[in-house]
Amino acid sequence: MKTIGLYIHIPFCTAKCPYCDFYSVKADSEALDRYTCIITDRINSYKGKYPADTVYIGGGTPSILGTKRLCDILNAVNGSFGTNSLETTIEVNPCSAQQLDFSLLHDFGINRVSMGLQSSDPQELRLLGRRHTCEDVMYSAEKIRKGGIDNISLDLMLGISHQTIDSLRKSIEFCSDLDVNHISAYILKIEERTPYFKTADTLDLPDDDAVCDLYEFAVEKLKSLGYDQYEISNFCKNGFESRHNLKYWHCEEYLGIGPAAHSFIDKRRFYYNRSIEEFKQGIIIDDGTGGDIEEYIAMTLRLNEGLKYSKFEEYFGTPFPIMYRKKAEQLAKTKLLICDDNGIRLNTKGFLCSNSIITGILY
């Protein structure tokens, strides 16, 4: 049987960060218990249908569920999707992670932890609405490792209020000093449904040129510290790419369970609305077909390796269309991408305007 990636959404946070547009709500202990029952029932409904070789528990803040509820969910996952996951990741907050028993979570299959650092600068953290400190991150990383989990990823944000090259350098060096295997560095995007959108004029954000400088610095600094870029926003030591996220960028199949979770199975896309009640009722929204040539091009060009003609032909059973290659060859004159006999791939400056380049190739 084919294997898929499994995503489980935990839609709870103790407080909403002003820049975050992911679906999450506040909840008390009883609500967390109810949701755990709802999600495990839905997981159990898929028993035996799709073996999963990657599992990702995201949010929200999964770590606020506590060890027992998370183990209940993992037990359901193992019973319904198998115990052969090569990578099982959980997202954690540096504060609530301190209450988890990572040794027990490891026994239930967790072998990778993604933690939201965002910045090591106290002022930047405060402006982002984050409540943790660097000491919280260090303590949690130590506890995770003592629990038998060595594969740790940290999130950083670029282009945030008052950020400078120097403060970004310190944040990157903080991650490196912790000797984590993976770092995600996301450029801040102001989303409509966030408090940041309403106060954007007062945020004192870096301008576009400054953000480009921050991004290019991050790529070079991370490389110098042993973190190779493998996707627009993701960097890792050799062999520690996120297997689960690679499924998205390679247009492989995945199943999302939970409110706001999206799926791609049998060339169809479907999702749950941003509502716990609708998820409980099992209301699924059909989102049409997926995995066509245009989508494949757009997703694979996010990767450092880019689009490889050999993989394209393996995926579609047909050679790469000449019309797209000719457009890519023209765009290669801008020095933002390379188009050769192996495929098409963007460089660092190309990643900064990837949407325009992809549009130029496709249309």
Say what the pLDDT of residue 224 is. 98
Whether the per-residue pLDDT at 1 is higher than 80: the answer is no
- Condensed to tens digits (0 to 9), the pLDDT of residues 67-90 reads 999 999 999 999 999 988 999 999
Share of the chain above pLDDT 70, in %: 100
- CB 194: neighbour CB atoms within 10 A? 17
Pair 199, 150: CB distance under 8 Å? no
Confidence of residue 201 (pLDDT cuts 50, 70, 90): confident
Whether the per-residue pLDDT at 200 is higher than 90: the answer is no
233: nearest Cα among 156, 165, 288: 156
CATH class label, 292-363: mainly alpha
Whether the per-residue pLDDT at 120 is higher than 80: the answer is yes
Residue 282: cis peptide before it, omega within 30 degrees of 0: no
Q: Report which residue type is found at 194.
A: T
Say what the pLDDT of residue 246 is. 98
Q: Two tokens at 108?
A: 């239930």
More confident: 15 or 169? 169
Helix axes 165-177, 208-224, angle to 10 degrees: 30
More confident: 113 or 197? 113
**Beta strand spans in 188-342 (E):** 228-231, 234-236, 254-257, 262-265, 268-271, 285-289, 307-308, 337-339
Domain ranges within the chain, ordered by starting residue? 4-247, 292-363
For domain 4-247, the CATH superfamily is: Aldolase class I (3.20.20.70)
Phi and psi torsions of 262, nearest 5° = -110, 155
Distance CA 194, CA 229 (A): 29
Task: Summarize the confidence of residues 180-194 as an average pLDDT.
Answer: 94
Whether the per-residue pLDDT at 193 is higher than 90: the answer is no
Whether the per-residue pLDDT at 151 is higher than 80: the answer is yes
- Condensed to tens digits (0 to 9), the pLDDT of residues 280-329 reads 999 999 999 999 999 999 999 999 999 999 999 999 999 999 999 999 99
Pair 142, 180: CB distance under 8 Å? no
- Condensed to tens digits (0 to 9), the pLDDT of residues 17-69 reads 999 999 999 999 999 999 999 999 999 999 999 999 999 999 999 999 999 99
Say what the pLDDT of residue 159 is. 96
Say what the pLDDT of residue 2 is. 84
Whether the per-residue pLDDT at 141 is higher than 90: the answer is yes
